[in-house]
A and B are shown apart, each in its own frame.
Chain A
């Protein structure tokens, strides 16, 4: 058995690649569409309401109706806006959100026609750096959207988001450094493989070697900072309705607005997938690979929605205080302790 490669079998390689890309893209799009429905339903019930009920059985067709509505709405570009960047901004948010999924492994290698095909679009040896880089690129879209709109609310939303993302990306990045110290690789495939080994402490060998058990602090930091990075409540200051109308997407309408919405949910999927891969063993688990990682992703998504229904938005100074004075030192301390354990034990 050999790996299907571009040099040996260029045609089959391309076919396999396209199938994988299409499958992942469609699945992510479906999750994005139906997360909006699940979110409205779950938050509704948590607030003792029902959520959407009229379009289809229990509102199941709501995402389609919303999509159609947004598609047919008038596309307004403010006359004072800078046009090119105004149009470019929503795409600049959406694209990094979607291409991040490329490095997430979603299953074990399968063999088709005597060739081994990894269930991962691409296995970069710097996979995690790539994810952090793409997360950083997402900020440009938001800042640009705020700047290009030529409106004070949008600008304030964009400024807030850049400050927030910079400070939380630091803490999130430092939190996962501890994971690399244990796995000794940046490739996500390698990290999943490392989590399939025996748990290092013999007394706890009944546990899988998932990094949530050896790095609980890093896990908590990453999930919280991840929420802040993708602007989910309680950290949704860039689009705080009460103060900023709708933040950076105030001036957007029609499909451009829908792109912001999709990007937000796609980012949610991405953060859930990264957290599942780094800390919960990726596709490892009792079911066939893909189902395991989907269960973990849905679990995280539910948690994010649950948090949104429970916790009020933090104040801006609280946000900065938490990012720089609590999470960053905690992540650094975690690195020092992990380093000491790895070296001396």
Chain B
């Protein structure tokens, strides 16, 4: 029993030595997110407008049903999303929308600081997603 006791004490003492802490002092110090981290969505812009062609694949595949798309036709006859909304309060950040998109018009960024005060602020419209 004494051997285990001393072993335990030595382990805790080893952790006390400098350089063993794993804590990150968060707001002052941030960890780099992984390259494939699934954070806030972003609509990829093309030359003059978003790349999205409003094919409805992302709202179809979305398991949380958080994406709203309404398609329209512009004067050149191309389909574009008149409304593109993501309700982040429903989103589960699974990344299926990114996988489903045939034209790579949606991607996920490393932004994970999404806290907000009002319910409406969690609805990300096309304009906000294009930023």
Task: Name the residue in A42, A49, A53, A310 with the highest tally of chain B Cβ atoms < 10 Å from its Cβ.
Answer: A310
Chain B contacts for A65, CB-based, 8 A: none
Contact A311 B5 (CB under 8 A): yes
- Chain B residues in 8 Å Cβ range of A44: 21
Report how far A45 CA is from B13 CA in the complex, Å.
Answer: 9
Interface set, chain B 76-129, CB cutoff 8 A to A: none
Q: Are B21 and A310 in contact, with the CB atoms below 8 A?
A: no
Is A55 positioned at the interface, with any CB of B under 8 Å from its CB?
no
Interface residues on A, range: 10 to 19
Please determine whether B21 and A50 come into contact, CB atoms closer than 8 angstroms: yes
Residues of B within 8 A of A42 (CB): 16
Distance of B105 from chain A, by nearest CB (Å): 43
Determine if B9 and A49 form an interchain contact, defined as CB atoms under 8 angstroms apart. no
Task: Give every chain A residue within 8 A of B11 (Cβ-Cβ).
Answer: 310
Contact A50 to B5, CB < 8 A, known contacts A45-B20, A306-B13, A309-B12: no
Residue of A nearest to B15 (CB): A46
Question: Shortest beta-carbon distance, A272 to chain B, in Å?
Answer: 18
Contact A310 B8 (CB under 8 A): yes
Task: Tell me whether A48 and B15 are in contact (CB under 8 A).
Answer: yes
| Beta-carbon contacts under 8 Å, A47-74 to B | 47-50, 53
Taken together as a complex, chains A and B put the C-alpha atoms of A309 and B10 apart, in Å, by 11
Residue in contact with B21 in the complex, picked from A48, A307, A309, A311, CB distance below 8 Å: A48
Q: Mark B10-46, 1 if CB is under 8 A from A, else 0.
A: 0111011000111101000000000000000000000
Is the CB–CB distance between A45 and B25 below 8 Å?
A: no
Complex Cα–Cα for A44 and B21 (A):
9
Interface size class of B (residues with CB under 8 A): 10 to 19
The CA-CA distance from A49 to B26 in the complex, in Å, is 13
A41 to chain B: closest residue by CB: B16
Bound CA span A324–B16, Å = 35
Minimum CB–CB distance from B19 to chain A (whole Å) comes to 10
Residues of B within 8 A of A46 (CB): 12-13, 15-16
| A45 to B23 alpha-carbon distance, docked (Å) | 10
Q: How far is the CA of A76 from the CA of B13 in the complex (A)?
A: 40
Cβ of A232 to closest chain B Cβ, rounded Å: 15
Please report the C-alpha to C-alpha distance between residue A310 and residue B22 in the assembled complex, in whole angstroms: 18
B25 touches A50 (CB 8 A): yes
Q: How far is the CB of A30 from chain B (nearest CB, A)?
A: 23
Interface residue ranges of A276-314 to B (CB < 8 Å): 306-307, 309-311
Assembly CA distance A49 to B23 (angstroms)? 5
Please give, as numbers and ranges, the residues of chain B lying within 8 Å of A45 by CB-CB distance: 15-16, 20-21
CA distance A42 to B13 in the complex (A): 9
In the complex, the answer to whether B25 meets A53 with C-beta atoms within 8 Å is: yes
The closest CB in chain B to the CB of A49 belongs to B23
Query: CA A309 – CA B15 in complex, angstroms?
Result: 11
- Chain A contacts to B: CB under 8 angstroms: 42, 44-50, 53, 306-307, 309-311
Chain B residues at the A interface, C-beta cutoff of 8 Å: 5, 8-9, 11-13, 15-16, 20-23, 25
- CB-defined A-B contacts under 8 Å, sample of 10: A45-B20, A46-B13, A48-B15, A50-B23, A53-B25, A306-B13, A307-B9, A310-B9, A310-B11, A310-B12
* 9 A-B pairs closest in CB distance: A46-B12, A50-B23, A310-B12, A310-B8, A48-B22, A46-B15, A309-B12, A45-B16, A49-B23
